[in-house]
Structure 1
Amino acid sequence: MNAAAGRPAEFPWDSVMAAGFGLLRLSPGAFWSMTPRELERAMSTLPKRTDAPPGKDHLVAMMALFPDKSE
């Protein structure tokens, strides 16, 4: 009966390990001993990436505020 649901997505190990080791600075022992709930709670302290990347208007405004210095 799962055929209609499609294939489940693989767990994003690369992203989770990058957040655990790189952003949270967990040791391998601490990372691998955490429960999924503990890891989710720890990762919930990280900022969410919900904004779209800056557009051309934002870039132009930033360039006006912070012009390159000519030598």
Structure 2
Amino acid sequence: MKAGFNWPALMRAGLHGLGLAPAVFWALTPAELQIMLGSKPGNGPMLSEGLAALMAAYPDKIKDQNDER
């Protein structure tokens, strides 16, 4: 099943819950609606320290002749 927006629930939240006019609701981006609904922010972007830690934990290995292609 394909994941997507639950439009009926979003419209109820925006039009009824927030009291937005239809034109205002449809002019919002999904991120703006999420902020207005008070959703908690997700993880922030990975900064250089996080990337360095990830690279140290999972270093690249050099392929040799026995590795599959």
TM-score, normalization: structure 1? 0.49
| Equivalence map 1:11-22=2 (5 Å) | 11-22=5-16
One of 9, 17, 20 as aligned partner of 1:23: 17
Would you identify which runs of 4 or more consecutive aligned residues in structure 1 move more than 6 Å? none
Superposed CA RMSD in Å reads 1.5
Q: Deviations over 1:13-66 (max 9, x none)?
A: 000000000010000111000111100000117xxxxxxxxxxxxxxxxxxxxx
TM-score, normalization: structure 2? 0.51
Q: Which of these two proteins has the greater Rg computed from alpha carbons?
A: 2
The gaps in structure 2 that reach 5 residues or longer are: 40-69
More helix by share: 1
| Equivalence map 1:1-71=2 (5 Å) | 7-44=1-38
Partners of 1:17 and 1:23 in 2: how far apart?
A: 9
Q: Identical aligned pairs, as a percentage?
A: 38
